[in-house]
Amino acid sequence: MTRAVETVLFLVVLATVVATFARRWRVPAPSLLVIAGVIVGSVPGVPTIVVTPDIVSLVVLPPLLYAAGEELPWRDLRAVWRPVSALAVGLVLVSAAAVSAVAIALTPLPGGMAFVLGAVLASTDPVAVAALARRLALPPRVQALVQAESLFNDATSLLLFRVALSVAIAGGTVSWGHTTAEFAVLAGGGITVGAVIAAGAYLVRRRTEDPVLETVVALVTPYAAYVLAESIHASGVTAVVVASIILGTQATRMTTPRVRLQLSAVFDTVVFLLESAVFGLIGLQLPALFRGLAGIDTRWPLQALAIAATLMVVRVGWVFPLAALWQRRHQGQRPSWRVPAVVSWAGTRGVVPLAAALSIPLSAGGGAVLPNRDLVLLLTTAVIVLTLVVQGFTLAPLVRRAGIAVDVADVRQEDATARLQLANAGLSHLDHLAESEAAPEFVIVALRSAWLDRIERIQEHKGSEPPYTASVYRQLRRELLDVENAELDRLYHDGTISDNTRRRIQRSLDLEHAGLGDAP
């Protein structure tokens, strides 16, 4: 237990240092964390890290999937559901078949275990894709496409994995009727459980005014969806994803701005800690697995490289024709390489394949040791590391080379236009209040003056760099808030106010300061 706690604390410290350098070097933190984990795991004397399936699938996976699902807009998801379906089903099946064939040809794995390896690596990983995509200025629909694919291909890959295990362990045969029924249970059960949990969480949070209690409910929701779905043999990943998307669309209706700020801070912290731990563990796993496999085929790095290359070639061969067909049929355009190239290169593997590989049983049906399990786990981890490093470090340059990144000036223009419409809506409401005499006139005059100043600042510099006047305004606001903070501390230390009063006022000042954004 002590060693486990020490490992977790070490990973958190390592992740904090790595994240600092990743931001400074403008590289993806997951890729850098994996490299750091491999380096640390290769140092002589470092204890072997044993990761159990429960740690990854039950502790780490649900909140990370929930956070990724909440980032997926329902409007954009509806626009891309057809290509997402083709990727989440067709591409998974083709990838599994291709990896199985390569594994049979290049590795000592028998056909059954090669099929297991193909099923494990067939789907992209939502945690890794979301972590890499957060720092890219992708167009909304492209972002939705790559994230939705990674979120919804779990049911297909999990079904393949279960079928592959039955063939590899029990030597069973594949029944299409049974397979179809199992897929319906996996996908349909996951969707149903996710919707039920989302409805329950919505009702509870709508009737809760305690921010601490609401935060607890939000944190428990992904675990409840995952555990309930798995208990009825449905897809826990699908249940978490469905619950997160539903609740994400209702975020402004079921809670207050204060709670949203708190939930955002809590989930950002949880996601950082869990992503740090899991990507660091992936890196640490690889040297530990290699050391633990005495007499293993020394060609495994080349085998892992060949499998990773196969996944990429198959993905390119599937995405480009699909994109060309979509562009011709729905947009009337000539096929372009830009979006398909980015979508193809975004197919990283990560936490979900690792959890699947770890869940392979240690023994076969008769109690005998399951052969080649460790080799499957080693190849899976190696392919995950390869995709996170190679694709992770090169995805951003590819997005820039393709020229599909959202232009900063367009973002500023959209932001300014939206802010102007919001301010005009507020001003119109003030005019309505003045006509109906629903509020004191001096209050309406003060608010109208503030809103007119806001509209003038937006119109003066709409779509341009942040204006000097606005920058000075925010800087002076920060200085005034700092002065008020200092005076608040003086009043408290002089005994003029109580600690409760100090904390209450401090929170209001902090919220006002947060509304000004980060200091330049």
* Cβ contact 71:314 at 8 Å: no
CB atoms near residue 296 (< 10 Å): 14
Q: Where are the beta strands (DSSP E) in 397-453?
A: none
Q: For 22-78, where are the E strands, in sequence order?
A: none
Query: What count of other Cβ atoms lies within 10 Å of the Cβ of residue 439?
Result: 12
Task: Determine the pLDDT at residue 246.
Answer: 93
The tokens of 285 are what? 């796993």
CA trace torsion 144, 394, 385, 276 (10° rounding): -70
DSSP H or E run through 168: helix 154-170
Confidence band, pLDDT 50/70/90 cuts, at residue 173: low
Lowest-confidence range among 69-78, 196-205, 336-345? 69-78
pLDDT score, position 368:
61
CATH architecture label of 2-406: Up-down Bundle (1.20)
Report residue 10's pLDDT band, with 50, 70 and 90 as the boundaries: confident
Q: Can you tell me the distance from the alpha carbon of 102 to that of 95, in angstroms, rounded to the nearest whole number? A: 11
Tokens 């709409």 correspond to what residue?
462
What is the pLDDT confidence band of residue 176, given thresholds at 50, 70 and 90?
Answer: low
CA proximity to 303, closest of 382, 390, 387: 382
Side-chain half-sphere CA neighbours of 50 within 13 A: 5
Region 386-396 average pLDDT: 90
300 token code pair: 């495994």
Structure letter (DSSP) for residue 350: -
Check whether 295 has a pLDDT greater than 90.
Answer: no
Q: Answer for the pair 236, 62: CB distance below 8 angstroms, yes or no.
A: yes
Which residue in the block uniquely carries the two structure tokens 């367009």?
410
Encoded tokens for 432: 């309505």
Amino acid letter for position 474: R
Question: What does residue 363 show for φ and ψ, rounded to 5 degrees?
Answer: -130, 160
Identify the three-state secondary structure at position 16: helix
pLDDT at residue 308 above 90? yes
pLDDT the model gives residue 347: 87
Check: CB of residue 115 under 8 Å from CB of residue 167.
yes
d(CA 93, CA 96): 5
DSSP assignment, residue 296? Answer: -
The predicted-structure confidence for 409-464, as pLDDT tens digits, reads as follows 777 788 778 888 888 898 899 888 888 888 888 888 888 888 888 888 777 666 55
Strand partners for 363? 369
292 or 422, greater pLDDT: 422
Mean pLDDT, range 346-353, rounded to an integer: 87
Tokens 């000075």 -> residue: 472
**pLDDT at res. 314:** 96
379 in Cβ contact with 290 (< 8 Å): no
CA–CA dist 25, 21 (Å, integer): 6
Helices marked H in 293-407: 300-326, 338-345, 351-358, 373-386, 392-402
Give domain limits for the chain: 2-406, 408-465, 468-520
Which pLDDT score is estimated for 321? 92
121 band by pLDDT with thresholds 50, 70 and 90: very high
pTM of the model: 0.83
Q: What is the per-residue pLDDT for 196?
A: 97
Place of tokens 């949203």: 260
User: Residue 29's closest CA among 312, 354, 271?
Assistant: 271
Which of 72-86, 116-130, 306-320, 327-341 is predicted least confidently? Answer: 327-341
